[in-house]
């Protein structure tokens, strides 16, 4: 089968389209013919081998035919003997390793049926970004109906989902973005927009019960200044700046208004919840660009610029 592999660390130039063996399927797994994959900051970390500990997973001292990609959507080709929820022909989506390939094997509990009203490209854009937003708001932030939440970085992959999920949870939402993204963020349901090129939200006198910080544009002390007395900052654990991630990890045990770092690992249960919101029109993915599998290095070049609006998706098979 065809797959995007890497045999070194570095820029997107280390990625190549290659022929590799089709994955084996265990009894509790499903073999999926991949239709589309979305790429995330974590894929860029793996490509660059930075932060350094990721090399212990990807390959040390260098990767060997490592297949990138996590978020995918496709069609069930075969199901293991112990699988009971899925059968060949089912349209599914999930987050799993080695997704940038024509086939992938996925554990049954990681899969969910694809939202019926989405294309494969749209469904592939959901898992990691949407689950990061969901867990940050609902589990770490304990967001309640009627609370005021600010999404810093509302136009990115996580931010676009966070605006919509916060609205689905009953919050009053303020989105922070650049001028070119104001209309898009408003269309997602944000009650208020702050254009950071014109206004500093930490100095406009407003207060929030929860801040989901996706971009680390301000210090934690600046963010605390705009919190209500019981307000909370939730740092996006998948942020690309390791200094930010480490600082948040070290400070959170000592600062009451700084939420803990968290792991956003997609699973079938949470994906099913998202499926319900999507099929009722409460949440929709935002995709800026789509590339064919052969142009995956170009897709990584674009994502690595960190200016993507919503998600970048790669079509694997037609």
- Annotate the chain with DSSP letters as a single string: -EEEEESS-SSGGGEEEEE-PPPP--TTEEEEEEEEEEE-HHHHHHHHT-SGGGHHHH-SSS-SSEE---EEEEEEEEE-TT--S--TT-EEEEE-SS-SBSEEEEEGGGEEEPPTTS-HHHHHTSHHHHHHHHIIIIIIS---TT-EEEEESTTSHHHHHHHHHHHHTT-EEEEEE-GGGHHHHHHTT-SEEEETTT--GGGSS--EEEEEESS--S-HHHHHTTEEEEEEEEE-TT-S-HHHHHHHHHHTTT-TTBPPP------HHHHHHHHHHHHTTS----EEEEEEGGGHHHHHHHHHTT--SSEEEEE---
Predicted pLDDT at 280: 94
- Which residue ranges of the chain lie beneath pLDDT 70? 237-261, 306-307, 318
237 falls within a domain: yes
Domain assignment of residue 208, given as a range: 129-251
Shared domain for 47 and 136, answered yes or no, is no
Predicted pLDDT at 253: 57
Shared domain for 203 and 224, answered yes or no, is yes
Predicted pLDDT at 257: 63
pLDDT digits (tens, 9 = 90+) for 243-300: 566 665 555 555 566 666 677 777 888 999 899 999 999 999 999 999 999 999 999 9
Predicted pLDDT at 76: 98
182 falls within a domain: yes
Predicted pLDDT at 241: 53
Shared domain for 246 and 167, answered yes or no, is yes
Predicted pLDDT at 238: 59
Predicted pLDDT at 101: 97
CATH (domain of 160): 3.40.50.720
52 falls within a domain: yes
User: What is the reported pTM?
Assistant: 0.90
Predicted pLDDT at 100: 97
Predicted pLDDT at 41: 85
Shared domain for 32 and 118, answered yes or no, is yes
């Amino acid at each position: 089968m065809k797959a995007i592999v890497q045999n070194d660390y570095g820029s997107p130039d280390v990625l190549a389209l290659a022929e590799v063996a089709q994955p084996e399927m265990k009894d509790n797994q499903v073999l999926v013919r991949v239709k589309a994959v979305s790429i995330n900051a974590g894929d860029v970390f793996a490509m660059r081998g930075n932060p350094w500990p990721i090399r212990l997973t990807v390959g040390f001292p260098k990767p060997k035919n490592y297949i990138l990609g996590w978020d995918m959507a496709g069609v069930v080709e075969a199901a293991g003997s112990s699988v009971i929820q899925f059968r060949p022909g089912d349209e599914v989506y999930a987050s799993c390793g080695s997704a940038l390939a024509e086939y992938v094997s996925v554990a049954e509990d990681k899969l969910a049926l694809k939202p019926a009203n989405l294309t494969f490209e749209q469904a592939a854009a959901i898992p990691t970004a949407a689950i990061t937003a969901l867990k940050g708001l609902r589990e770490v932030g304990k967001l309640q109906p009627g609370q005021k939440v600010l999404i810093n970085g509302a136009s990115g992959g996580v931010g676009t989902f966070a605006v919509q999920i916060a609205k689905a949870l009953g919050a009053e939402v303020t989105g922070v973005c650049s001028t070119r993204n104001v209309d898009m963020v408003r269309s997602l349901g944000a009650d208020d927009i702050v254009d950071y090129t014109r206004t500093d939200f930490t100095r406009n006198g407003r207060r929030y019960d929860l801040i989901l910080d996706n971009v680390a544009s301000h210090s934690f002390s600046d963010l605390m200044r705009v919190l209500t007395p019981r307000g909370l900052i939730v740092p996006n654990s998948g942020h690309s700046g390791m200094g930010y991630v480490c600082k948040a990890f070290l400070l959170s045990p000592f600062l009451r208004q700084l939420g803990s770092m968290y792991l956003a690992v997609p699973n079938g249960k949470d994906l099913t919840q998202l499926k319900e919101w999507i099929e009722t029109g409460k949440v929709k993915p935002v995709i800026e660009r789509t590339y064919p599998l052969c142009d995956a290095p170009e897709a990584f070049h674009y994502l690595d610029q960190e200016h993507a609006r919503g998600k970048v998706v790669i079509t694997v098979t037609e």
